[in-house]
Amino acid sequence: MAIRPILILPDAKLRQVSEPVKAVDDDVRKLMDDMVDTMHDAPGIGLAAIQIGVPRRIVVLDLAKKDEPPEVRYFVNPEIVWSSEEKSVYEEGCLSIPEYYEEVERPARIRARFLDREGQPQEIDAEGLLATALQHEIDHLNGVLFIDHISRLKRDRVIKKFIKQAKQKESERG
């Protein structure tokens, strides 16, 4: 298992649409283990494979609090098959947009289909933080970032900030 570098805005790969996984095999499980290590190290509560530069439809989540044992969940080829009319608002952040948080409105409850770590078909009804986190990570698989759900003014401002930071890092490297 390994900690991998996380792509940071404005990396164009973050806008890539991820490819479905054909079979959950040992290579996919190894990737998921690396994703969990990377997510915990960051630290974060969710990670999509594209965030470490792998355009495959894989998500890992761990919503356990710091003082609780890990509760890792694995989602391969997740898709939302139902979402409630009712909305909820959560302050979201993203490992690919470090130290930036904004309130985002999403459906309060969803139902998702996916393959588990063993490749078995599953379905989950989610609400609260789980519903929000799963929608956030599935967005990543479709090249969508949480800042796409906020006002254009705020989005433009944060993108400019990260472009400037990327240019500064580039010039420091020389």
List the catalytic residues. 137
Burial (0-12, 13-18, 19+ Cβ within 10 Å), 58: buried
Q: How far is CA 23 from CA 49, 52, 87, 118, 157, in A?
A: 15, 20, 34, 10, 40
Those residues whose C-beta lies under 8 Å from the C-beta of residue 89, and which sit 6 or more positions away, are: 103, 104, 105
Tell me how far apart the alpha carbons of residues 171 and 10 are, in angstroms, rounded to a whole number. 16
Tell me how far apart the alpha carbons of residues 153 and 145 are, in angstroms, rounded to a whole number. 15
Beta strands, E only, 120-173: 121-127
